[in-house]
Amino acid sequence: MEKVKVIAENRAGLAVITLNRPEVHNAVDEDLRTQLGSVMARAAADPEIGAVVLTGAGSRAFCAGMDLREFAAASVSVIARRRQRRARANPLADFPKPLIAAVNGAALGLGLELILQCDIVIAAANASFALAEVRRGIIPGNGGTQRLARRIGQGRAMELILTGRTVDAASALAYGLVEYVVPAEELLPRAEALAREILANAPVAVQLAREAVRRGFELPLAEGLRLEDDLVGITFGTEDAREGPLAFSQKRPPRWRGE
């Protein structure tokens, strides 16, 4: 029987997705990667799911990176084929709904690269972060060199990538790598509360606002402003755009239709 390496739980419209290899600090092997892709695809297609919290099993690690034992045993041709397959689809970067990382421990290598693809990152006080690939004779290869610089700036990214240094949660907060640091026992409740705050808003507006930020970040300002204007125009044509002001004027909670 295949081990369940990714657990998905639907909590009333919020999917909590857990990397489930605590015996190896949730290191990512090919099976986990495949299961994660399938779980994320189902969450993306499920109209009942409005947001996702991604976390790791256990209390020591969110994800310790790729499974180096599997990597060391694989041939160059096998590694190349896997990288080609992954380049065609990225279940986190391409995910269409709000994605919150709840970092419950070490996020190293691929683990850090996973959270860089999330919209908001909440870390437990015991969390730690590193892109230490240069200490293994390789470089970050899952977007780490690109996304880390965009998130915390080129200088800080250079420092962490070229030294392979591990930083604690407080430093990650100061660098802008995470948005919140909380006690470990408060991690999932805080992540869920944040997700619920997002889910209380108009679904189409949330989706398009998220698209404006994520796509616009890669564009020159003038193009980003045009994108924003186009997406604002789309929201004006929705039923929710009429419901919001009406609910405000009637002093009642809005009844979003998601259209």
pTM: 0.90
**Please, what is the average pLDDT of the chain?**
92
pLDDT of 75 reads: 47
Distance of CA 203 to the CA centre of its chain: 19
Burial category of 187 from C-beta neighbours within 10 Å (exposed 0-12, middle 13-18, buried 19 and up): buried
**Residue 11 corresponds to which tokens in the numbers above?**
């909590």
User: pLDDT digit string (tens) for 51-89?
Assistant: 999 999 999 999 999 976 765 554 455 455 555 555 445
Q: Are 99 and 51 in contact (CB under 8 A)?
A: yes
- Please name which of 113, 121, 175 lies closest in space to residue 147, comparing C-alpha atoms: 113
User: Is residue 23 annotated as a catalytic residue, yes or no?
Assistant: no
Q: What string of DSSP letters covers 192-221?
A: HHHHHHHHTS-HHHHHHHHHHHHHHTTS-H
Partners of 101 in the beta sheet?
Answer: 54, 121
Catalytic residue (one of 30, 113, 185, 223):
113
pLDDT at 3: 87
Among the options 133, 185, 192, 243, which is catalytic? 133
- Two tokens, residue 148: 């880390």
CA distance 220 to 211: 15
159 in catalytic set: no
